[in-house]
Every structure is written in structure tokens, then in C-alpha cells.
Amino acid sequence: MEVEDIDEFDINQMKDKEIVIPGEVLSEDLTNFTPGRGTTKQGNKIISLFVGLKVIRKNYVNVIPLRGIYTPTEGDKVIGVIIDKNPVKWKLDINARNFGILKPSNTVARTQKFRKGRPDGAYETTEKFSVGDVLIVKITQADRLHHPELTTQGKYLGKRHSGKLIEIPPPKIPRIIGRKGSMINLLKEMTNCNIFVTQNGRIWIQGDNFENEMLLIDTIHKIETEAHTSGLTDRIKDFIINEKTRRGIN
């Protein structure tokens, strides 16, 4: 769900992509086309597995789903909310099938851990965060059978003390980012807000005032409902300008 997806949501596309439903025949030409993501081969046909948009890239027929859950992938930065803790680990709701596990040793830099004068195990408690805290974490380990392992060591990672958290369907996240980050830059510039978009469908925002934050939230929900349409960036620009005038924000 990274660069490739963002490319597929081509903002400059002239034509709306076809909406397909599960079981719909995408192609009967198996010599020239291969089933890609979101599709399968049934007899001598390629059929769709999701409600989504049909996209043909080279000789692959793909379907981008419009709804669905987030599947944790190694290296993703996600926003989690602590739902439980015990003396050795925190459990984080990361909007996926399983909760993520964050261990105290993964919240401290390696250099800090062995500093002189620190008693052994000083960082091995879970007193640092409490239930309900919002953290930006990175997934260090994820597969189909185990709970994802998380870390807070890295750039932009750690606890958020302020700001707002909103949620949209994870498949629509590429549209918030836009092609090469065009949409997110537009939002940042026009609303003066800090935005952190993560692949699990959660967006953390912080603006200099309440009005700008609310405008940004409304804009994101507009993008969410119109994610499958073309010419979105221009429309969003217009929307923000009009709303600013209407609400009296400068």
C-alpha cells in the first residue's frame, strides 16, 4: 500500500474508472491479461473479489477495493490507541484484525538503555504510557498468525500529547495523500495544520486554531465520500476556499 497505490489513484485521470462488484467478469482474454491484486481466475475468466475500481496496468488486471480492513505490514507507521497494559507489555488497537504488542524495551533508545548509573531493568516497566494514550508506532514484525510487534523508536514516533484523531476506511488513505503527496501538501498549506496520515486509516491532525482543524476534518470527510471520482484536487481546492469564506477564516 505505498507508492504503487498512490500512482493508481491518478488525480489527473480524465475518465472515471469502472466500478466492479464481486464475481464480475473483468476479462476473458487470458493470453494477454493476468489476474492481479483483488482478482482471481475462475475457469477461463478473470473475476473481481471486491467492490472496487478496475485498473489495468501493463498486462495485469487489478481491482482496488473501496472498503476493507487494514492488514499490518512490516515497516508501516500506524496510529495506535492503548487498550490494555500489564507489567510487561502494552496492547494497542491499530485498527487491524489483531491488537499490536508494544514492549517497554522497544520504547527506549538502545543508547539510553545501557547508560551508566541506570539500574538494570529501569526501563522494563509499563508505567510510561497508560490506557487511552495515542501513539504513533512502527510495525517491526507482522504476519498472518501472530500479533504485530510495534516500536516507538524512530522519526515522528511516540506519544501524541495534543491534536485530534480521525478515522476513515483504510483503502481511501492513498487518496488523502494524492499523487506524490499532492493532496496532503495542499491540505497542509491551505489549512495551516500538521497532518500525519497512516496506512491503518487513522489521521492525526493539529492546527493552530480550532476552526482550521474543523475545516480540515470536514475536507477529509469530503475526500472520503468522493474518493472514487476524478478531478478531486481541484474540487477540494474550491471547497476549502469557499468554506473559508463562508466560515470567515483567514
Partner 1 sequence: MSLLIKDESPEKLIGEDGKRLDGRDLNELRPIMMEVGVIPNADGSAYIEWGGNKVYAAVYGPREVHPRHDARPDRGILRTFYRMTTFSVSERKRPAPGRREKEISMIIKMAIEPVLFLELYPDSVVEVFIEIISADGGTRCACIAVAILALADAGIPMKGLITAVAAGKVDGKLIIDCSGDEDKSGEADLPCAISWYNNQIALLQFDGIMNLEEFDKSIDQIIEALEKIRKLQEEALKKRYIDVRDHLKNYKPKVVTTNNIEEKIDSNNQKNQNGGDQTE
- By CB under 8 A, name the binding residues for partner 1: 16, 19, 21-24, 38, 40, 42, 47, 49-51, 65-69, 97-99, 144-145, 171, 186, 189-190, 225-226, 228-229, 231, 234-235, 237-238, 241-242, 244-245, 250
Task: Give me 113's grid cell.
Answer: 538503555
Cβ closest to partner 1, residue 112 vs residue 245: 245
- Secondary-structure percent of the chain, ordered helix, strand, coil, rounded to 5: 25, 30, 45
In the complex, what is the shortest distance from the CB of residue 37 to partner 1, in angstroms, rounded to a whole number? Answer: 11
In the complex, what is the shortest distance from the CB of residue 117 to partner 1, in angstroms, rounded to a whole number? Answer: 42
Q: Name beta bridge partners: 81.
A: 93, 134
* Helix H or strand E encompassing 52: strand 52-57
Q: How far apart are CA 186 and CA 174, in angstroms?
A: 14
- Exposed, middle or buried: residue 169 (CB in 10 Å: 0-12, 13-18, 19+)? middle
In the complex, what is the shortest distance from the CB of residue 70 to partner 1, in angstroms, rounded to a whole number? Answer: 11
Of 53, 35, 56, nearest to 45 (Cα)?
A: 35
In the complex, what is the shortest distance from the CB of residue 112 to partner 1, in angstroms, rounded to a whole number? Answer: 34
Cβ closest to partner 1, residue 157 vs residue 166: 166
In the complex, what is the shortest distance from the CB of residue 73 to partner 1, in angstroms, rounded to a whole number? Answer: 14
DSSP for 84-114, written as a single string: EEETTEEEEE-SBSS-EEE-GGGGS-HHHHT
Cβ closest to partner 1, residue 74 vs residue 124: 74
Cβ closest to partner 1, residue 157 vs residue 186: 186
